[in-house]
């Protein structure tokens, strides 16, 4: 059982390291968004210049930050928790809530979002959809694909959370704690 536990912990670490790396990488887009927004404002009001593509790039970056960063936020327990009793529970109680919440809420919602957006994204790819604005950015279909990327990343983080919770529930919490959700992966 010890070998299986070590394998499970290794899998958790691999899954979480992907979201850790990606979350940290896309966080730099927030700085770039500020700089581009500043440039848009300065160019428009100081020089009476503007480019639709430059303005749209802020929207693209914003979407990528939220869609690619959702799993990172889940990993670090940054999403709003409805359960006001969670912090008072033991690790065993928290593991049950995390496991059931993932299986009953996260997985079905992610699968629904993936299913409902599939045709929407396929149509966009079929058209190689670009901005409706003259001079706007191409690749709207790539931006829409980020919906499926977000679903996949959330499901991977959900799998790591389920494994972590199961290990705590069967009594291997010590091994799991050493690779806790708030660590750098």
Domain annotation covers residue 33: yes
Could you give the number of structural domains in the chain? 1
Dump pLDDT digits (tens) for 31-68.
999 999 999 999 999 998 889 999 999 999 999 999 99
Residue 125 lies in a domain: yes
pLDDT of residue 173: 67
92 lies in some domain:
yes
Q: What is the pLDDT of residues 59-110, one digit of tens each?
A: 999 999 999 999 999 998 877 766 677 778 788 888 998 999 999 999 999 9
90: number of CA atoms within 13 Å, CB side?
A: 6
- Structural domain for 146, as ranges: 2-78+87-177
Residue 51 lies inside a defined structural domain of this protein? yes
Q: Look at residue 181 in the predicted model and tell me its pLDDT.
A: 55
**Region 139-159: what's the mean pLDDT?**
95
Give the helix/strand (H/E) hosting 108. helix 107-127
Tell me whether residue 20 is in a domain.
yes
Instruction: Please report whether residue 69 resides in a domain.
Output: yes
In a domain, 42, yes or no: yes
Asked if the structure places residue 60 within a domain, the reply is yes
CA dihedral for 85, 89, 94, 96, sign (positive or negative)? negative
Contacts of 83 (CB under 8 A, 6+ apart): 97
Q: How far is residue 29's CA from residue 137's CA, in Å, rounded to a whole number?
A: 17
Distance, CA of 69 to chain centre: 4
The full DSSP string for 77-111 is T-SPP--TTGGGS-HHHHHHHHHHHIIIIIHHHHH
Q: Which pLDDT belongs to residue 13? A: 87
What pTM did the predictor assign? Answer: 0.85
Q: What is the mean pLDDT of the chain?
A: 88
């Amino acid at each position: 059982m010890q070998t299986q536990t070590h394998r499970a912990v290794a899998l958790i670490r691999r899954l979480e390291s992907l979201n850790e790396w990606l979350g940290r990488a896309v966080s730099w887009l927030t700085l770039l968004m500020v700089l581009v927004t500043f440039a848009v404002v300065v160019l428009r009001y100081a020089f009476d210049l503007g480019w639709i593509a430059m303005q749209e790039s802020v929207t693209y970056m914003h979407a990528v930050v939220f869609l690619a960063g959702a799993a990172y936020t889940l990993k670090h327990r940054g999403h709003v928790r409805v359960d006001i009793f969670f912090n008072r529970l033991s690790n065993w109680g928290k593991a049950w809530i995390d496991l059931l919440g993932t299986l009953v809420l996260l997985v079905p919602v992610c699968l629904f979002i993936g299913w409902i957006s599939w045709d929407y994204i396929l149509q966009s790819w079929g058209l190689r959809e670009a901005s409706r604005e003259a001079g706007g950015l191409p690749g709207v279909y790539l931006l829409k694909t980020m919906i499926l990327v977000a679903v996949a990343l959330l499901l991977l983080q959900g799998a790591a959370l389920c494994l972590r919770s199961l290990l705590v529930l069967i009594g291997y919490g010590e091994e799991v704690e050493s690779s806790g959700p708030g660590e750098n992966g």
